[in-house]
Every structure is written in structure tokens, then in C-alpha cells.
Copies of this chain bind each other. A is one copy, B any other.
């Protein structure tokens, strides 16, 4: 896919097997700073400092970190050191652990002389699988947009919350994948991009869509319900951090409010996720623990000063009490469907499909 004059991907490994290219996301969307990583230590730093973010992208970056490690020194001791350091960067990231485990299985069963090549191949496979999963999610979501477009015969208004976009993944994103494919397929789409306080990930989504030349309008989170009341939203696409067996959706704080409005206004509401995000061990997300994040995410805000510098502005004194739950749970009763690489499932269809798959 194209991405204007910007790099086509959040991460790109060069053929030379000596370096990996990323966009420094701590500066987005205010600055597009590209970085070249040539050591596993630089990969670790990029993950720790959140220069790369989003579960899939963290996993891929760590995998390439292991490839860089194996290129420099393929001994067991050196690889163990790199693996442990990479794992420690974001200890709770499930994809990070998963990618490093997969790399370790490959490296452990490969002769040291062949480990560098094997590691680059395996990292590249992880990357390619992520792209393919997201593209397939996009195809299934695209079918929904196509039906709406055939019915309404006008541009389809999609509302999205947070950034379940390409910069959290390698390409396509999850909630955004159907939108990018609609663009390629000639189905006209307009996207309502929600700001997504407190971290304003809507700025990333806006930046992505602008670079992909997709029609969009930026709104504050408060406006999404009103737009649905006015008939200005045809479908809601969000990502998810976790989906339960019966179709409860844990996603960025505020998602629940949009699902309520969608139900009230008869707007279909979908979460787009890889099957790996569905936690089949849990039926319902009722009472699941929600991460309480740092209060300074609310007290401070990042933007561009008049002198064009990226700075943090203070909105609230450090002594003001704030509460900052990072996620909320949208109960399955408000969810029209879950879009996965295996197809689109209503919450009722989801449980039997997942149970059949486990057997």
C-alpha cells in the first residue's frame, strides 16, 4: 500500500540484514523522525522509550532485535543476554514475550553458524504474518463497507476511537484496515476521527489518514454520540485490547460510551481484532481489572509551541486528584460483531466458533 511520500511501514528491515528502519512515534504526529537501528540495544531502547508502540509492532521490533543480536554474536550466551534485555523493556506486553519465545525456539534449534540467517528469516516471517492477518481482517471489514455503500450509494461515514491503525502494527492496522482497503477498492469513505483523551491517539489516526489521502474529520470524544443522533455515522470500527469468549470488548477508555450511542441510534458497532486478541479462557469481562494509568497523562498535554517546538503544557497542578482508567469494557449486548482474520462473528456466533477451533 502507498502512504504518500512517507515510509510505507512502521518498521522496515533492509535486505542487507544489518539494519532496521523505524519511525520515532514519540514525536508523532508533530515530527516524522525516522531512525535506523543497527544493534539489539537500539531496538530495546526504541521499545522502552515507546518509539515503537502497539502490541504487534513491539513484537516485530523485538524479533528484529534478536536478528541483529545473532548477526553480531550468535553464541548462546550473547543471545540469552539480548533476549532477557529485550523482554525487560515492556514486561507486560504479551506479543513481546510471544515473539521472543518464537525467535528462541528457532535459534535454539539452529547451528550457531546459521543462526543469523535463520533469525532474519524468522523475524521477517513474523512481520509478514502480521501484515497478512491485518490485511485479511481488512478484507472482512471491507465487505461490510461494500454492503453499506451498495445500499446507500454515497460515501460511508465510519467513526473510530483511538488508534487501531497501521502505526501500531506493521501495515494496515486493525480497525483501519477496512478503510485503507476501501480506498484501494474505490469505495468512498469518510472517517470521523475521535481525539481519544487523555493520550490523543486520534492525532495518530488523523496523521495516518491524511498521509493515505483518506477523507476524514477530527472531533473531540464528546461529539461522537451527537453525530450518531444526527445520522452522520454509518458504522463504528474500533480495535480492542482483549475480547472475551462471549464477545465483551475491552478497549481504550470511552469505547463503551460510543457503543451505547451506536445502540441507541441503530448504528452497527464492530471491533476488529486478530484471533490472538480473543481470550478464550474468559467468558465475560465483567469485573476484569482495568489498568490505572499515570495522572500526568491528564495533567499535561503535548503539542507544538508557537516556536514550533514539541512541548508539554500543564493543564492541572500536580496536586489535583485525577483518575485515569486506561480501558473500559463494552458488553457483548452492545457489539454488532467482531471482525477477525477468520471472518465476522456476532457475539452469539463467536463462542461456538472459538470452541470448535479449540478442539
Tell me the A residues contacting B by CB distance below 8 Å: 192, 195-198, 200, 203, 206, 210, 216-227, 229, 252-254, 256-258, 260-261, 264, 290, 298, 301-306, 311-316, 320-325, 328-329
Contact = CB atoms under 8 A, between A and B. Distances in A.
Contact of A225 (B196, B218, B260): B260
Given A196-B222, A305-B313, A322-B217, A229 B256 contact: yes
Nearest to A162: B222
Which one of A229, A315, A328 has the greatest number of beta carbons of chain B within 10 Å?
Answer: A315
Contacts of A192: 323
Contacts of A216: 321
Instruction: List 9 tightest A-B contacts by C-beta distance, closest first.
Output: A222-B254, A303-B313, A226-B328, A197-B220, A260-B260, A304-B314, A225-B257, A257-B257, A217-B321
Query: How many copies of this protein are present in the complex?
Result: 2
A210 B254 contact: no
A219 B298 CA distance: 8
Given A195-B197, A301-B301, A225 B316 contact: no
Nearest to A322: B218
Contact of A306 (B222, B224, B311, B325): B311
Contact of A290 (B210, B226, B258, B298): B226
Which one of A198, A260, A312 has the greatest number of beta carbons of chain B within 10 Å?
Answer: A260
A223 B324 contact: yes
Contacts of A226: 253, 256, 290, 325, 328-329
Given A229-B329, A256-B261, A325-B226, A220 B298 contact: yes
Given A222-B253, A260-B261, A315 B298 contact: no
A197 B315 CA distance: 12
A223 B261 CA distance: 15
A113 to B, nearest CB: 52
A227 B290 CA distance: 11
A313 B311 contact: yes
Given A216-B321, A226-B325, 5 more contacts: A195-B298, A198-B222, A220-B253, A221-B222, A303-B313
Contact of A197 (B222, B253, B305, B313): B222
Contacts of A323: 192, 217-219, 223, 227
A315 B224 contact: no
A229 B328 contact: yes
Contact of A301 (B218, B221, B254, B303): B303
Contacts of A206: 316, 320
Contacts of A200: 315
Which one of A192, A222, A261, A315 has the greatest number of beta carbons of chain B within 10 Å?
Answer: A222
